[in-house]
Amino acid sequence: MRTLYVKFIVITTGMMLISFIIAFLISNTYYHQKIKPVNDQKNTMVAQNIATFAKEHPEIILEDYLENLSAVGYQLYLVDNLGYEKFFGEPFRDKNLPISTKDLVLNGEIFHGILQFPRETFVTGFFANELRNSIGVPLEHNGKNYALFIRPDIKFLFSEMHVLLGWILLLAIILTIVMVLINTRYLIKPISTLTKATESLAKGKYNVELDSNRDDELGQLSRSFLQMARKLEQMEDMRKEFISNISHDIQSPLSNIKGYTNLLDNDLLSKEDRRQYVTIINGEIKRLSSLTKQLLLLASLDRNEDVMKKKAFNIGEQIKGLIRNYQWAINENGLMLSYSLPDIEIVGDPSLLNTVWDNLLSNAIKYNKPNSSIEISLEERGKSIFVTFGDTGLGMSDAEVDKIFDRFYRADKARTRSVEGTGLGLSIVATIVKLHGGQIAVESQENIGSTFIIELPVK
């Protein structure tokens, strides 16, 4: 994470540097296109005003006049056609000026040295203290012709300002670096914490703490991570519970089979007892077989294997056929069954959906009360069908309703009535319904009954 910290600082600093260079280039282009011509024109007007004033006032002493002008922020150079020359104000760093330029001005032309100065950066252009970076105008005083070259004394004009600008730039750079370091730490710290939380999660420690109160993307990431940690913890608990339950559900019938098998070795055992023990062994074998089949089906559904064999079929006829198969169990338990199953055709996997109806109907029979009722209905609404299995049996509490689709969950009432089951049936039901793009809902009240409502798309 320290590498990311360094990378972030380097990238941010690099972006600042690149931004500064781009801004400098844009400013330089703007200077040459806009500011430089205006600056040249402005200084040309000042030089012409000086020359006009000197011509209209022959009584003034020219050198004194120019000396006074230099004191207010100008650098001046005066030359005549006889070779007389004099500088006024702050000296030029470079005093070289072609003779042809001097002759051009003495002959009445204007020299635009600021505009014609080589196109360098505005720093080396505007601030270049060179004689050729000036404005030259012809000047006439007392009948004598001169060439006057003038430019602003930048050092004089910016004597305090350049120090202030320098400090502003330096402080801006320092403060920017400090803020980048602080901001980087603020951004990287949650990632460092998240990395430690990930390492803890990898070691099986799910009780991690993260700052999820932030409103930015890192806060959202932390909240998502915490949700993932809680989900993984639940899955781990479910895995442990699964192993415990499956071990118990396999070990229990195996122990019974082993115990009753040993009893069958007794030669003194009566035929009636022997027949009873064989029946118990067959029941335990059937229980193991049912558990194995359900586990295999659930594993296939979890892996999203190509177990779906969809086709069009009459769902009303399918459920009616299932009812006929369970008629004996319904009569044996003294239950009253009513149903409304119109002929409705849907597209789905008949075998898997038959498992759903089988599970719901067998549960309605097992967890019902004697002389109670079961009601099954089928209804088409728009592009969906609704299949309802209702009973007036034991019912469930809200806490039990929340868990009935968990694997190996069995309600306490089921255990007290010694109803055999694997606790996988409703989990398989929910998975099959979900694979068909549907959803299942439960309404239940203790000692009143339960109603399962399955919604499936017609196609």
Domain-located, residue 199:
no
- The answer to whether the beta carbons of residues 246 and 423 sit under 8 Å apart is no
Whether 28 and 125 share a structural domain: yes
SS3 38: helix
Whether 153 and 16 share a structural domain: yes
CATH at residue 323: 3.30.565.10
What single-letter amino acid sits at 407? R
Whether 90 and 144 share a structural domain: yes
Domain-located, residue 54:
yes
Give, as one character, the DSSP assignment of residue 91: P
Q: What pLDDT shows up at residue 394?
A: 83
Whether 234 and 86 share a structural domain: no
Q: How many residues does the chain have?
A: 459
Helices (H), 265-411: 271-302, 315-325, 327-332, 350-366, 398-401
What single-letter amino acid sits at 163? V
Range of the domain at 12: 2-159
Q: How far apart are the first and last CA of the chain?
A: 52
Domain-located, residue 207:
no
Taking the C-alpha atoms of residue 387 and residue 450, their distance in angstroms, rounded to an integer, is: 14
Low-confidence ranges of the chain (pLDDT < 70): 1-5, 122-125, 156-166, 211-212, 214, 216, 241-242, 245-246, 248-249, 290, 294, 298, 300-307, 407-423
Whether 330 and 444 share a structural domain: yes
Q: Are strands 336-340 and 373-381 parallel, antiparallel or unpaired?
A: parallel
SS3 452: strand
Whether 23 and 140 share a structural domain: yes
- The answer to whether the beta carbons of residues 115 and 37 sit under 8 Å apart is yes
pLDDT tens-digit readout, 403-447: 787 766 666 544 333 345 566 778 888 888 888 889 999 888 888
Q: What pLDDT shows up at residue 15?
A: 81
Last residue of a domain, one of 116, 140, 159: 159
CATH at residue 230: 1.10.287.130
Q: What pLDDT shows up at residue 53?
A: 93
Domain-located, residue 173:
no
**For the whole model, what pTM was predicted?**
0.47
What single-letter amino acid sits at 181? L
pLDDT tens-digit readout, 4-56: 667 777 777 788 788 878 887 888 788 788 888 888 899 999 999 999 999 99
CATH at residue 126: 3.30.450
Domain-located, residue 153:
yes
Domain-located, residue 203:
no
Buried b (16+ CB within 10 A) or exposed e, 54-74: beeeeeeebeeebeebbeebb
Whether 155 and 59 share a structural domain: yes
Q: What pLDDT shows up at residue 86?
A: 93
Whether 386 and 273 share a structural domain: no
Crossing angle of helices 425-435/271-302, nearest 10°?
30
Tokens at residue 277, please?
């023990």
Q: Can you say whether residue 437 is alpha, beta or left, with left for phi > 0 and alpha for psi between -120 and 50 degrees?
A: left
Domain-located, residue 136:
yes
Q: List the one residue out of 391, 366, 365 whose CA is nearest residue 377.
A: 391
Whether 20 and 43 share a structural domain: yes
The total of structural domains in the chain comes to 3
- The answer to whether the beta carbons of residues 369 and 393 sit under 8 Å apart is yes
Whether 18 and 60 share a structural domain: yes
Taking the C-alpha atoms of residue 208 and residue 190, their distance in angstroms, rounded to an integer, is: 13
Taking the C-alpha atoms of residue 66 and residue 61, their distance in angstroms, rounded to an integer, is: 9
Q: What pLDDT shows up at residue 79?
A: 93
Domain-located, residue 166:
no
Whether 278 and 318 share a structural domain: no
Whether 259 and 332 share a structural domain: no
Q: List the one residue out of 352, 363, 353 whose CA is nearest residue 385.
A: 353
Give, as one character, the DSSP assignment of residue 297: H
